[in-house]
């Protein structure tokens, strides 16, 4: 059994490396590629999700990531940020989450997106790095990722996401929404 487990782990490691090579090649060979093109490129986006799933090694974290991506997309649409950039960032925000000590997962995750996937974008890097803490000085884009993470209905209290949607649609500032929902 132990032997089988180690074979499976090795093959997953290999798959992860192969996916990183594919994604990196695609992104580094096309520095002008936008988040929208990445999200709409079926094979590329599918491989990014595959990479994330292997890396997270947790169905729970994976479901949270996909759900946070959907929330971030909607929030971004409402507040006039790039929804595809928000979706991609939110999908990847917890990529360095592991079982146990996660105090540095935001920093490690931002670095991994850049180093392992070749997704070199300051806005995405900063939003992943800052996703754990709300700060009024953060940009609207960074606040969206924080808000999506904290209201994701797959993981958080029911109704938070819908309330945040309503408040944002009514034009309430994101910082105020975070405070009203006591998320920080
Ligand atoms: Fe996180
Ligand atoms: Fe998260």
pLDDT single digits (tens) 77-133:
999 999 999 999 999 999 999 877 888 999 999 999 999 999 999 999 999 999 999
Range(s) of the domain holding residue 29? 2-180
Per-residue confidence (pLDDT) for residue 1, from 0 to 100: 61
Nearest CA to 163 out of 84, 88, 80, 75 is that of 75
Counting the structural domains of the chain, the total is 1
CA distance 160 to 147: 10
Q: pLDDT at position 2, please?
A: 64
Spatial CA neighbour of 89 closest among 146, 138, 173, 151: 146
C-alpha 123 to ligand 1 mean position (Å): 17
Q: What CATH number should be reported for the domain holding residue 42? A: 1.10.3210.10
User: Is pLDDT at 8 greater than 80 in this prediction?
Assistant: no
Instruction: Say if residues 68 and 60 touch (Cβ distance below 8 Å).
Output: no
If you count them, how many residues does the chain have?
184
pTM over 0.85: yes
**Predicted local distance difference test score (pLDDT) of residue 3:** 72
**Nearest bound ligand to CA 147?**
2
Give 25 Cα–ligand 1 centroid separation in angstroms: 27
pLDDT tens-digit series, residues 25-46: 999 999 899 999 999 999 999 9
Q: How far is the CA of 67 from the centre of ligand 2 (A)?
A: 10
Whose atoms come closest to the Cα of 72: which ligand? Answer: 2
| pLDDT tens-digit readout, 38-77 | 999 999 999 999 999 999 999 999 999 999 999 999 999 9
């Amino acid at each position: 059994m132990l032997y089988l487990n180690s074979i499976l782990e090795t093959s997953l490691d290999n798959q992860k490396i192969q996916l990183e090579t594919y994604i990196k090649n695609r992104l580094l060979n096309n520095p002008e590629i936008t988040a929208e093109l990445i999200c709409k490129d079926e094979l590329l986006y599918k491989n990014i999700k595959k990479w994330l799933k292997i890396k997270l090694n947790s169905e729970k974290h994976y479901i949270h990531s996909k759900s946070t991506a959907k929330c971030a997309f909607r929030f971004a649409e409402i507040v006039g940020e790039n929804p595809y950039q928000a979706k991609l960032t939110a999908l990847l925000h917890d990529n360095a989450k592991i079982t146990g000590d996660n105090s540095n997962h935001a920093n490690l995750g931002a670095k991994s997106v850049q180093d392992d996937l070749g997704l070199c974008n300051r806005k995405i890097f900063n939003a992943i790095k800052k996703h754990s803490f709300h700060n009024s000085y953060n940009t609207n884009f960074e606040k969206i990722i924080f808000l999506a993470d904290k209201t994701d209905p797959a993981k958080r209290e029911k109704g938070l996401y819908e309330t945040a949607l309503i408040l944002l649609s009514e034009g309430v500032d994101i910082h105020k929404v975070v405070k009203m929902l006591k998320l920080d």
